[in-house]
Amino acid sequence: MDPDDVHPNDLAAAFDRERLRLRSVAYRIVGSLADADDAVQETWVRLQRADADGIDNLEGWLHTAVARICLNILRARKRRAEEPLELRPEPIVATDPHADPEAEVLLADAVGIALQVVLGSLPPAERVAFVLHDMFGVPFGEISGLLERTPDATRQLASRARRRVCDAAPPPDPDLAVQRAVVDAYFAAARDGDIDALVAVLDPDVVLRAHGRQQTLELRGAAKVARGAMAARQYAPFVRPALVNGAAGAVAFDGGAPFAILAFTVVDGRAASIDIFNDRELVPRLVR
């Protein structure tokens, strides 16, 4: 930013241009849109209190500020005994994204749910280093001050996070039509009670995670996941297509009320992971 006098309206306009990007940064760190919105709002408050004339790089300042606030949110969660150490992400869901232009932009910029789950399992410092550097290109020198580490130590944090991400969250198929075909085939097989067809649409090493209110349950392997789908097949006729973190997914309904969100990660034409969010208080709040 030019260190000439900055008019408040100019500052507000500059912040608004960065708002959605800041929301994306915050969501990837804290995993909750509500907390991300709070972090963005607090960033605006801090910007208003700052010496705007002394900010040479507004974008960098905002990234650092929102990340610091997010780090404080994560540390506060960790101090509360009732919070699990691993962060359960809240998915971004839309049954009709075109009805909400801001939701459409957010979904287009969202990372897959499998990656968001991995981010939630990382220690806060690793999460911040990876998100800021690998996803948003913030230099390690800027991140190191935020984390109170040396640039080399910060680089190592991001490297450890990167290895875990590569191992646990392979890049999904970029073609949304391919993703949708796999998801539709999964539910068609479940409705028909065809376990062989279910196995065929699943990666042999597929992992299914059911994120409940208190804990996450896992099934691994195509046979186990297919049997799990068969056990819940009574709900298969009551699912509607949805975008979940920008990927093909579905929302399950019970008596007209949404009760579960199913997020699929499709790799090489098969479902490599399925994340089910079945908190009956959370799901209605997230489904648009």
Fold type of domain 176-286: Nuclear Transport Factor 2; Chain: A, (3.10.450)
So what's the pLDDT on residue 3? Answer: 41
Q: Output 51 or 6, whichever has higher pLDDT.
A: 51
CATH class of 1-79: mainly alpha
- Say yes or no to pLDDT of 85 above 70: no
93 within 8 A of 242, measured Cβ to Cβ? yes
So what's the pLDDT on residue 79? Answer: 63
Per CATH, 1-79 and 176-286 having the same topology is answered: no
Q: What is the pLDDT of residues 147-168, one digit of tens each?
A: 999 999 999 999 999 999 988 8
| Domain boundary assignment for the chain | 1-79, 176-286
Q: What is the pLDDT of residues 107-157, one digit of tens each?
A: 767 788 999 999 989 999 999 999 999 999 999 999 999 999 999 999 999
Which pTM value belongs to this model?
0.84
Distance CA 183, CA 275 (A): 12
Of the candidate ranges 47-56, 90-99, 240-249, 252-261, the one whose mean pLDDT is the lowest: 90-99
